[in-house]
């Protein structure tokens, strides 16, 4: 009996040990699964670059993929360089040169005989365009002082407006300094150095440049208000935002733009989207705050370039079979749209549109079926909220739920396929941060944003920027209204 009891006790211990081993095995398998999932996530992050994600090109480093090989829009079929009908912009001779230098020959190159001016039969002309040697042109203003013969009172003639100091720099030099600083993104101390080297302004300091920039922004307040008013109501507007360091903290630069106007605005939060916009269509990258807070806007359109980058990552990294057909469909739809526009059409034919939408829905359904058959992702320790989904699954749900906004570019030819307009107007602002690192004050950042709004808008109206910076506000508003 003692032996049987001992065996039964041993059996119980073995069963308990077996249970513990099974628990340990299950925990180990769960840990392995989580590590495999983390490994896959890390590999996916390492495989992402500016061509298959929203990462900026500057993050690619030395591993940046070749641009042509990574093109998302495919080959256009056109030869590189200028296209047929393109009007060149080369250097052309002028009819009235500033200076003429004559060159004469004294001896015949054939018989070595002497040549005289009477033997000349014509001239061959060549023009050299160059910059005059830098020097400041000093204008002295002399205001006459009078003594009245009747009452002996002293009267002084008035100086021109703006001539306030005994010595001062003139408006053209100030405009040039502002242009270097705000348009070409040269820091203030280097602007002062450039003005000394290029223009002979030997006593100019960086503080003067800062003061001129601030004064210019204040003077152009009415122009900035006009730009914003032209973007507020109706039409197709492009929206985007990017993070910038201001006064040591993360701030957000929001942009609203179209083909003719650009407006920049700094905010402390990314979600502070331009809720003042009314009507029309806004093109963006599916930032949720645009949907949540912009109730005054009628229609949304999503950027196709963002979708192409996401699809490229899903095809290359996750190897999901539906991604390449969807990419090809987007490219074909954009091509069909441009071909129709070239023929003078304003919409796709109903049959072509219906077939394209049917193909779109079929690919989305194929992708969703794939993800529904896959095992769910393992929640990370401490994870809260909705259950995590794969990147491809999230994109498919967006393509399904926001179908009208995704395909807006083929149902409304005024809406482009991409949000490149917004990305282009933000690009120079990011260059500014690469050069200077940050803005020291929020006030300085807002001054810069105001003047960049003016400069970007002036470029879209083909205005000379230095000349535009010198125009009175009413004339600049008139130029922007034309």
What's the domain count of the chain?
1
Residue whose token pair is 């260059």: 431
Tokens at 60, concatenated: 């690619």
Answer yes or no: is 403 within a domain: yes
Q: Mind listing the pLDDT tens digit for each residue in 31-47?
A: 777 777 777 777 767 66
Domain membership flag for residue 333: yes
Extract the tokens encoding 162. 């703006």
Q: Looking at the domain assignment, is residue 331 inside a domain?
A: yes
- Maximum pairwise Cα distance, the chain: 146
Rounded to 5 degrees, what are φ and ψ at 86? -70, 130
State the average pLDDT for the chain: 88
**Token representation of residue 289:** 């705050």
Q: What is the CA radius of gyration of the chain?
A: 34
Mean pLDDT for 178-196 is 94
> What is the secondary structure of 161-191 as a DSSP string?
TT--SSS---HHHHHHHHIIIIIS---HHHH
pTM for this entry: 0.80
Winning range, highest mean pLDDT, from 18-22, 90-94, 469-473: 469-473
CA distances from 123 to 104, 117, 362 (A): 10, 12, 73
Q: Is the pLDDT of residue 97 over 90?
A: yes
pLDDT digits (tens, 9 = 90+) for 241-285: 999 999 999 999 999 999 999 999 999 999 999 999 999 999 999
Q: Which of 20-24, 53-57, 223-227, 384-388 has the lowest mean pLDDT?
A: 53-57
The predicted model gives 156-167 an average pLDDT of 91
Contact indicator for 380, 427 with CB cutoff of 8 Å: no
Q: What is the 3-state secondary structure (H, E, C) of 153-165?
A: CEEECCCCCCCCC
Token pair belonging to 267: 């905010």
Asked if pLDDT for residue 415 goes beyond 80, the answer is yes
Residue 69 has pLDDT above 80, yes or no: no
Q: Is 269 inside any structural domain?
A: no
407 class by beta-carbon count within 10 Å (0-12 exposed, 13-18 middle, 19+ buried): buried
What per-residue confidence (pLDDT) applies to 183?
A: 95
Please report, for residues 338, 348, 355, 365, 405, the alpha-carbon distance to residue 351 in angstroms, rounded to integers and kept in the order given. Answer: 17, 8, 6, 21, 20
Q: At 208, phi and psi to the nearest 5?
A: -65, -40
pLDDT at 336: 94
Higher pLDDT, 135 or 123: 123
CA distance 464 to 419: 26
Taking the C-alpha atoms of residue 134 and residue 200, their distance in angstroms, rounded to an integer, is 6
More confident residue, 108 or 13: 108
Per-residue pLDDT at 397 = 96
| 396: containing domain | 304-376+390-418
- What's the average model confidence in pLDDT over 465-480? 94
* Residue 230 included in any domain: no
pLDDT for position 62:
60
Distance CA 209, CA 216 (A): 11
Q: Averaged over 110-127, what is the pLDDT? A: 90
Whether 289 is in a domain gets the answer no
Query: Quick check: is 322 in a domain?
Result: yes
Domain assignment of residue 399, yes or no: yes
């Amino acid at each position: 009996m003692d032996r049987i009891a001992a065996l039964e006790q041993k059996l119980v211990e073995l069963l308990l040990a077996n249970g513990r081993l099974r628990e340990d095995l299950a925990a180990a398998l769960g840990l392995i699964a989580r590590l495999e999932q983390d490994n896959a996530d890390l590999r996916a992050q390492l495989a992402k670059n500016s061509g298959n994600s929203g990462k900026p090109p500057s993050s690619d480093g030395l591993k940046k993929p070749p641009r042509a090989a990574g093109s998302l829009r495919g080959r256009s079929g056109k030869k590189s360089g200028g296209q047929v009908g393109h009007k060149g912009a080369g250097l052309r001779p002028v009819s009235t040169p500033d200076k003429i230098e004559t060159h004469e020959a004294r001896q015949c190159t054939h018989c070595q005989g002497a040549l005289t001016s009477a033997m000349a039969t014509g001239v061959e002309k060549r023009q050299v365009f160059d910059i005059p040697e830098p020097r400041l042109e000093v204008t002295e203003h002399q205001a006459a002082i009078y003594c009245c013969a009747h009452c002996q009172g002293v009267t002084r003639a008035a100086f021109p407006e703006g001539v306030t100091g005994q010595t001062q720099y003139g408006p053209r030099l100030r405009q040039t300094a502002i242009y270097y600083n705000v348009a070409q993104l040269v820091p203030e101390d280097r602007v002062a150095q450039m003005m000394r080297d290029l223009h002979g302004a030997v006593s100019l300091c960086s503080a003067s440049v800062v003061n001129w920039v601030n004064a210019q922004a204040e003077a152009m307040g009415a122009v900035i208000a006009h730009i914003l008013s032209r973007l507020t109501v109706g039409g197709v507007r492009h929206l985007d935002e990017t993070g910038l360091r201001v006064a040591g903290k993360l701030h957000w630069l929001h942009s609203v733009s179209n083909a003719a106007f650009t407006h920049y605005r700094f905010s402390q939060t990314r979600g502070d989207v331009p809720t003042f916009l009314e009507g029309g269509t806004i093109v963006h990258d599916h930032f949720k705050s645009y949907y949540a807070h912009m109730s005054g806007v009628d229609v949304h359109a999503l950027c196709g370039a963002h979708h192409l980058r996401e699809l490229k990552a899903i095809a290359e990294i996750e190897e999901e079979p539906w991604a390449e057909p969807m990419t090809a469909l987007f490219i074909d739809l954009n091509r069909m749209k441009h071909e129709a526009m070239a023929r003078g059409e304003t919409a796709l034919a109903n049959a072509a549109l219906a077939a394209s939408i049917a193909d779109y829905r079929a690919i989305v359904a194929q992708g969703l079926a794939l993800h529904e058959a896959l095992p769910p992702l393992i929640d990370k320790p401490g994870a809260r909220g909705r259950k995590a989904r794969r990147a491809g699954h999230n994109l498919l749900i967006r393509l399904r739920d926001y179908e009208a906004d995704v395909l807006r570019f083929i149902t409304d030819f005024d809406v482009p396929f991409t949000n490149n307009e917004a990305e282009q107007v933000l690009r120079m602002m990011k260059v500014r941060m690469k050069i200077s690192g940050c803005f020291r004050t929020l006030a300085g950042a807002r001054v810069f944003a105001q003047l960049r709004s003016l400069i970007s808008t002036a470029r879209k109206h083909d205005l000379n920027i230095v000349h535009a910076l010198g125009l009175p506000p009413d004339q600049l508003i008139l130029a922007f209204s034309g």
